[in-house]
Amino acid sequence: MKKIKIGQIGIGHNHGEGKMLAVQKFPDLFEVIGYAEENEEWVEKRGNLPCYKDLPRLSVEEIIEKSDAILVECDVWNLTKVAKMCVEAGKHVHIDKPASGTLAEFEELLNIAKEKNLTVQMGYMYRYNPAVKKCIEAVQKGELGEIYSVNAEMSTYHTPEYKTWLKHFKGGSMYIFGSHLIDLVVSILGEPKKVYPFIKQTGFEGVYSDDNNFAVLEYDKAIARITNLSVEVNGWGMRRFAVMGSKGTVEIKPIELNVEMTKSTTDIASNAYQDMKEKVDIKDVPTLSRYDEMMKDFYKSVVGEKENPYSYEHELAVQKTLCRVVGEN
């Protein structure tokens, strides 16, 4: 089995540690050459984490030169800029989410990667959630019939410090967390015809960031509703993803590894006044952690064992929709 040399640029992204831990689980697939981080504050905060402390700290240029593929895990606002440097040098990239900069800059990155036949994998890990994979499979097989509605919520309770950090981004928590849901909706329904965003600031605890967010995505026949809150005290318990079609409904709650998935179909939903659903067995879908299946898929795409299941066009459609929701260009 061919190993690929992989390095990480940046340790400032909150998912960076998890991605590095994931690739280190598969030494037969990845040879980790080191990490680069130019911000000494991040080195001080995270450089001694178990996944980094024994790795060489290299320059960005050294990581690009020595790697076959690169994990781009820097501060969110630098993700697209750094990833573009990598693809220009002919390197495959895993880019954490969401893409930064302007839409035009992200599109340029994708065009360069497509021209060079390079893998671009975005860090939307819920694509690899076992229940989400089953749900999308059911949609693709037509088991739910014609999809007419998607309801998705990803909420949490953030500290004032974290909400202050979210002020860096137009759309606040919708940009950082709601992007996960937008990715899933676009996977099922494609790019919407119209977008109706409601981005609000509660001002709770004296912090004014976009923390009370909702968006409606309109399609020819379908409607998707996306809720994202930074002030929900039971945010974890409220995380859910539900897909409704003419033949059935799937609900996933919460959207995490300890997930419960239920399915209702026209065969069992005979009483309009009862909760007619049955649990779906998802044990046959392999799952190790949030990121393991994603990193294994990245490897397979890089070495040519399989085509990247998420095309350049899909990634652009997700970013385009996200920009429309948060009002970014």
Query: Could you give phi then psi for residue 151, rounded to 5 degrees?
Result: -115, 125
pLDDT value of residue 267: 65
**Residue 256 forms part of a structural domain:** yes
Q: Is 1 exposed, middle or buried (0-12, 13-18, 19+ CB in 10 A)?
A: exposed
Q: Is 162 exposed, middle or buried (0-12, 13-18, 19+ CB in 10 A)?
A: middle
Q: How far is CA 208 from CA 151, 191, 199, 317, in A?
A: 27, 30, 12, 29
**Residue 286 forms part of a structural domain:** no
**Residue 27 forms part of a structural domain:** yes
Cβ atoms of 182 and 321 closer than 8 Å: yes
Any idea what the CATH number is for the domain that residue 19 is in? Answer: 3.40.50.720
Please state which of the ranges 85-89, 103-107, 254-258 shows the lowest mean pLDDT. Answer: 254-258
Task: Give yes or no: residues 91 and 140 share one domain.
Answer: no
pLDDT band at 76 (very low <50, low <70, confident <90, very high): very high
pLDDT band at 279 (very low <50, low <70, confident <90, very high): confident
Residue 190's domain spans which residues?
A: 130-279
**Residue 284 forms part of a structural domain:** no
Any idea what the CATH number is for the domain that residue 162 is in? Answer: 3.30.360.10
Residue range 249-271: mean pLDDT, rounded: 77
Q: Which of these, 73, 127, 69, lies nearest to 97 by C-alpha position?
A: 73
Task: Give yes or no: residues 103 and 144 share one domain.
Answer: no
At a CB cut-off of 8 Å and minimum separation 6, what does 178 contact? Answer: 154, 171, 213, 215, 226, 228, 322, 325
Task: Give yes or no: residues 108 and 92 share one domain.
Answer: yes
Task: Give yes or no: residues 137 and 275 share one domain.
Answer: yes
Is the model's pLDDT at 314 over the cut of 90? yes
Task: Specify the 3-state DSSP secondary structure of 20.
Answer: helix
pLDDT value of residue 268: 54
Task: Supply the mean pLDDT for the chain.
Answer: 93
Number of separate domains in the chain = 2
**Residue 322 forms part of a structural domain:** no
Task: Give yes or no: residues 114 and 171 share one domain.
Answer: no
Higher pLDDT, 86 or 289: 86
Q: How far is CA 204 from CA 28, 164, 200, 250, 304, in A?
A: 49, 11, 12, 34, 50
Task: Give yes or no: residues 170 and 91 share one domain.
Answer: no
pLDDT digits (tens, 9 = 90+) for 35-63: 999 999 999 999 999 999 999 999 999 99
Higher pLDDT, 298 or 275: 298
Task: Give yes or no: residues 36 and 66 share one domain.
Answer: yes
Q: Exposed e or buried b for every residue in 277-310, given b needs 16+ CB within 10 A?
A: beebebeebebeebbbbbbbbbbbbbbeeeebeb
Runs of H (alpha helix) within the chain: 16-24, 40-46, 60-66, 79-88, 103-116, 130-140, 160-166, 173, 179-189, 235-238, 292-303, 312-326
Query: Could you give phi then psi for residue 291, rounded to 5 degrees?
Result: -115, -10
Task: Give yes or no: residues 94 and 165 share one domain.
Answer: no
**Residue 257 forms part of a structural domain:** yes
Task: Give yes or no: residues 240 and 296 share one domain.
Answer: no
Distance CA 135, CA 126 (A): 12
**Residue 157 forms part of a structural domain:** yes
Distance CA 109, CA 88 (A): 8
Task: Give yes or no: residues 144 and 263 share one domain.
Answer: yes
pLDDT value of residue 255: 85
Task: Give yes or no: residues 159 and 252 share one domain.
Answer: yes
Distance CA 183, CA 215 (A): 14
**Residue 324 forms part of a structural domain:** no
Task: Give yes or no: residues 238 and 153 share one domain.
Answer: yes
pLDDT digits (tens, 9 = 90+) for 129-143: 989 999 999 999 999
